[in-house]
Structure 1
Amino acid sequence: METAINTSNRYELKELELNSLLEITQAINENLPENSLYKIYNFTLRANLKLGKLMLLVHEKNNWELKLSFGTQKDYADVDDSTNELVKKQKILFNADLVGSAFSEFEVAIPVFHKDELLAIVFLGGVTNAEEKELIENHLNFIQALTNIIMVAIENKKMARARLEQEVYAKEMEIAKKVQQLLFPKSLPENNNFSIDAHYSPHHTVGGDYYDWLSIDEHRKIVCIADVSGKGVPAALLMSNFQASLRTLLRKTTNLEEVIHDVNHQVFESANGENFITFFIALIDLKKKELTYVNAGHNPPFLMLANGQIEKLDKGTLVLGALKEIPFLEIGKTKIKNTQTLLLYTDGLTEAFNEQEEEFGPERVIDILNNNNTVKPSLLLSKILDSIDGFIGNRPLSDDITLLACQFHV
C-alpha cells in the first residue's frame, strides 16, 4: 500500500513539473518580455512549493543583480562579495552550507549553469516542516532545469536585442556618413592668390565636423569650419540643415553680424536648445586687403602673418544654438599683407592623446606652423598629420580631426 502511495506521489510530482515546464515554454514561445518571464517563474515556484522565502540572483556584467525576492528578512540588493564567495563551491548548497554566510536564512541555494557559465543562483527557504523540506529536495533538479530554461531564454533575448541595436546603429552610421560626405565641398580652389586644402580623419563613429568655402565674387571668399555636439544621424542632420541655412544666407549678405544672428536662430529652433554648434567663419576680401571673422566658441584658428608672427583668431561670441538670442558679438578684423596662411581645425587635433595620456595641444600646432610658415596648404596639412600620427602612436583617435588650410596674398 505504501509503495502505491509513493508511486502516486511521484507521478503527481512529475505531472506537476511537466505542466510547469510546458507553461514556461509557451510563455517563451509567445516572446513575452523579461519581466513577465520572471513573474511566471516566481508564481510557478511559489504555487508548487510551500515556500516562505524565494530569491533569484542573476549574474550580469560581472555583478549580481537581485531579480526576485519574497519573504526575506534582509536586503540583498548589494551582495556581490558574499555571492562570489558562495559560488566558489559550484554545487547545490543546503542550510548547513549556508550557516555563517550572508544567506543563512535560506534552506537551499541552487547554482544554475549554461555551458559552464554561471547564470544565476536560486535561494529557497521558509519551510516549516520535514514534509515541505522533502518536497523541495524532490524538486531540486526540476528547479535547476526550470531556472536554466528561463535564464537561457532571457540571455537569448538580450543577445537578439543587442544584435538588432547593432544593426540599427550601423545603418544610422552609414546614413550619417553619407550625409556628412555630402556637406564637404566637391572641389577646393588652387589659384595664384587664393588656394585651399582640407583633410578629414573620421573617428570610429560619425561626428558632426564640417568645413566649407564659398566664392562671393572675384575678390571675396568665405571659409568656415564647424563642429556640432553629439554624434550619428542627429548630428549629421543638424549640420546639414546648418549648412543649407548658411549657404542661403551668404548668397544674400556677407554681413557677418547678420549671418551669425540668423544661423544661431536656425540652430536653436532646429535643435530645441539640446545641441549646439561651434563655428568659425572668415570673409577674406583681397581687394580691401582685409580679413573679417567671427569665432562662435570654436577652437581659435591660427593666422600666419607676413612677418612670421602667428595670430589667434578668437574674437566673436558664444556657441551657436545654446541661447535663443546671442548676448554679445565682436567682429574680428585683421589686415592682409603679402602672403598669409590661415589654419582652421576642430578640437580632435589639439585634444588628441598619446599612449602616455599627454595631449597634443595647440602649442605643438604652433611649433609646426613656425617651421612651415611659407609652405603650400597641402604640404602644411601633411606636416600636421605626420606629426599627429607620430604623437598618438598606436592609440586610436578619440574624436574626428578636420583641418582646412587657406593661403592667400594681395
Structure 2
Amino acid sequence: MDFIVPLLFLLVVLFLTTIVTWGVTSIHNLESEKLQIQSRQESHQRTLRLFAEKLATVKETFEALDILVSQIWEEINAESVGIYVLDSSAELGLKQVKGAACVGPFPIFSEMSIGIEDKINENSRNRSAHFKKEIIRSGEGLLGEVIDTMSSVNFGRSQQINLPRGIDTMMAVPLTFEGRFIGLIVAVNRKHSTEPYSNNDLEEFEGLSIQAALAASLILVYTERQKQDRIVQELASYSKMQKLLLPAIPPRLGVYRFAAYQTPAMEVSGDFYDFAELDENRVLVIVADAAGKNLPACLMTSMCRSFVRCLNDRFTDVESFLLDLNRLIHAHSDPSQFVTLNALLIDMSKHECKFGCAGHTPLLLRSASGELKVLKPAGHALGMWPNDESTHFEIVSFNFEPGMKICLYSDGINEAKNRLQELFGDGRFWKLFQECAESPKKTIAHIIGEVKKFSEDTPQADDQTLMVISRRPLDV
C-alpha cells in the first residue's frame, strides 16, 4: 500500500503538467490566432487602401476591382474568382448583374455565351473582355438562383448538381451593402486540388465578401457620378448651343429699338424668343414657353423653333401662322406636351401691329404718356388639341405710336418667388414696366434687378424671358 501515495503524487503532477501545458499551448494558439487575425486585417486594410488609390486614378472605375479580386483570389487559394455588380441599365423591376472583374480561368455562367466557350477561352484577354459583357439575370442558372434567393451557396460534384464544364467545386456569395443587393462574388475550384470547399471555407469567403461589397458599392457610386458628370457636360453643351441659336436682335431698326433677356432656371431653357425680318417692312417677334423644364422642355422649344422658321418662309397672317404651328406641334409631340406662345407682327412702314396669343402671358403696352394697356387675345396653347372648325386664335390690331413701348415675357418673371414663397406678381411687374420711361435695354435691366432683389437668394424656379420694343418719339 506504500506505493499508492507516490503514485497519487505522480498522477497529480502529471495532471498539473498537462493543465499547464494545455494552458501554455492555448495561450500560444490564441496569440498565434490573434497574430493571424491582425495580419489578415492589415492585409485587408492594405488592399482597400490600394483599391481606393486605384479608384482615384483610373479612367474606367471597374479596373479598380482587379486589385481587390486578385487579393481575395490569393486569400482563399482559388483557381479563379469573379465579381459581378448590379447592372443599373436593367429594365425596371429586373434584377441582374454584370461582370466587373475576374482573375484566373473563370468559367462562363451566362446562358447567352453557351456554345462559344472555346473561342472565349482561347486566351486570358478574350476571357477578361468577355466577362465584362456577361449578364446574369435573377433565376437563370446557378448564379441566377443565388441572386433570387440572396443566399450563399457551396457546390461540389458530389452533390449531383449540374455544374458547368471544368468546375469541381465553387462558392457564390451575394454582395449586400446597407441592406441593398449590389452584386455577386464567386470562387471556382481550389488551386492544384479537386478537394471541395468546406463550410469553413464558405465562412471565410463570406467574410472576405464584405470587402468586395464595399468595393462594389463604391464602384456603383463612382459609375453613377461619372454618368452625372457626363450629363452635366452634355447639358452645358446644349446650353451653349441653345444660346448660339438665339437670334441676333438688332438694337435698332429704323425708328424701333429692341432688347431681350433670357436666363434658364436649370442647365437649359424651355423658353425661347425669335425675331424674323419677313421682308424689308415686316418683323415677326416670337416669345414662347414649353411645358416642363430642363432637357424635355428644351427639346420641345427646339422643335417649335424649327417649325417657326419653316413657316416664316410662307407667312401670310398671324392667325394662319398660329393654326399651322398648332397643327405641326400636335402632330409631332406627346399629348401632355404643349407650348404657350406670343406672336407679334410689326409693319414698320405703316407702324401697325397684329398680335396673337396662344395661351401665353399678355402683352404690355405703355404709351408715351405712361398709360398702360394689357392685351391678351383668346387662344389655347399650341399642341394641346388638333385643329378643327372651332379652332380659333383671336388677333388684335393696334398702332405702334411714337414713344410707345411694348413688353413680351414668360411667366418666370411675374411668378418669381422669394424665400417666403410669395410671388413677384403681375401688379408689381406691370407697375415697374409702366413707371420705367427708359430705353428697352435699361428697362430690362431695371426690371430684372428688382426681380432679383425680391427673390434674394431663393433659387430661380422657372425660366425667365423678357423682350422690350420701343418706337422713337417724334421729338427725338
Structure 1 contact 276–322 (Cα < 8 Å) conserved: yes
2:253 corresponds to 1:195: no
Determine if the alignment matches structure 1 residue 210 to structure 2 residue 268.
no
Q: Does 1:325 pair with 2:387?
A: yes
Matched, 1:310 2:372: yes
- The alpha-carbon deviation at position 46 of structure 1 amounts to 4.1
Does the residue aligned with 2:417 lie in a helix, a strand or coil? coil
| Alignment-derived partner of residue 318 in structure 2 | 256
* Offset at residue 226 of structure 1 (A): 0.9
| C-alpha spacing 1:353/1:141, structure 2 compared with 1 (3 Å) | farther
Q: Note if contact 2:175-2:210 (Cα within 8 Å) is conserved in structure 1.
A: no
1:156 alignment partner AA: I
**In structure 2, which of residues 386, 405, 408 is the aligned counterpart of residue 341 of structure 1?**
405
| 1:120-151 deviation digits (Å, cap 9, x = unpaired) | 9xxxxxxxxxxxxxx98996554233244135
Give the aligned partner of residue 430 of structure 2.
Answer: 366
1:395 corresponds to? 458
User: How many matched pairs?
Assistant: 321
Structure 2 CA distance, aligned partners of 1:268 and 1:176? 24
The one-letter amino acid paired with 2:206 is: I
CA distance in 1, matches of 2:411, 2:255: 29
| Alignment partners' CA distance in 1, 2:328 and 2:444 | 32
1:286 to partner: Cα distance: 4.5
Q: 1:250 to 1:141 in 2, by over 3 A?
A: same
The one-letter code sitting in structure 1 at the alignment partner of 2:423 is E
Q: Is residue 2:308 matched to residue 1:246? A: yes
Task: Give the alignment partner of residue 380 of structure 1, picking from 438, 443, 448.
Answer: 443
CA distance in 1, matches of 2:249, 2:364: 23
The answer to whether the 8 A contact 1:21-1:146 is kept is: no
How far did 1:164 drift? 2.4
Contact kept? 2:288, 2:339, Cα under 8 Å: yes
Range moving further from structure 2, 379-388 or 263-272: 263-272
Q: Secondary structure of 1:273's partner?
A: coil
Match status 1:18 vs 2:81:
no
For residues 134-213 of structure 1, the aligned pairs below 5 Å read 142-167=205-230, 169-191=231-253, 193-213=255-275
State the Cα distance separating 1:220 from its structure 2 match: 3.0
Change beyond 3 A, Cα 1:194–1:203: same
Is 1:226 the counterpart of 2:284 in the alignment? no
1:337-390, Cα deviation, whole Å (9 max, x unpaired): 332111111122122222222221222211211321x32101100111110121
Q: 1:23 to 1:188 in 2, by over 3 A?
A: same
Larger radius of gyration: 2
Per-residue deviation at 1:282? 0.9
Structure 1 unaligned blocks of 5 or more: 1-13, 49-53, 68-118, 121-134
CA–CA distance in 2 between the matches of 1:44 and 1:294?
66
1:290 equivalenced with 2:290 (yes/no): no
Change (3 A) 1:22 1:155: farther
Structure 1 Cα separation of the partners of residues 320 and 335 of structure 2? 20
Match in the other structure for 1:299: 361
Look up the match of 1:79: none
1:237 positional shift: 4.3
Choose between structure 1 and 2 for higher RCO, CA contacts under 8 A separated by at least 6 residues: 1
Q: Is the 8 A contact 1:205 1:231 kept in 2?
A: no
Cα 1:285–1:28 shift into 2, 3 Å: closer
How far did 1:334 drift?
A: 3.0
Amino acid at match of 1:399: D
| 3-state SS of paired residue (1:339) | coil
Aligned pair in 2 of structure 1 residues 269, 214: CA closer, same or farther (>3 Å)?
same
Q: Using the aligned pairs only, state the percent identity.
A: 24
Deviation of 1:57 after TM superposition, in Å, equals 7.0
Shift of 1:279: 0.6
> Aligned with 2:344: secondary structure?
strand
**Structure 2 CA distance for aligned equivalents of residues 57 and 25 of structure 1:** 13
Q: CA RMSD in A?
A: 3.7
Q: 1:207–1:230: 8 Å Cα contact kept in structure 2?
A: no
Instruction: Normalising by structure 2, report the TM-score.
Output: 0.58
Distance in 2 separating the partners of 1:164 and 1:191: 46
Q: 1:205 to 1:33 in 2, by over 3 A?
A: farther
Q: How far 1:225 moved relative to its partner?
A: 0.5
CA distance, structure 2, for counterparts of residue 307 and residue 34 of structure 1: 76
Matched AA of 1:18: I
Give the 3-state SS of the residue equivalent to 1:406 in structure 2: strand
C-alpha distance in 1, partners of 2:249/2:420? 38
Task: Work out whether residues 285 and 343 of structure 2, in 8 Å CA contact, stay in contact via their aligned partners in 1.
Answer: yes
Q: Which runs of 5+ in 2 are unaligned?
A: 1-71, 85-98, 102-130, 156-172, 184-197
1:280 matched residue in structure 2 = 342
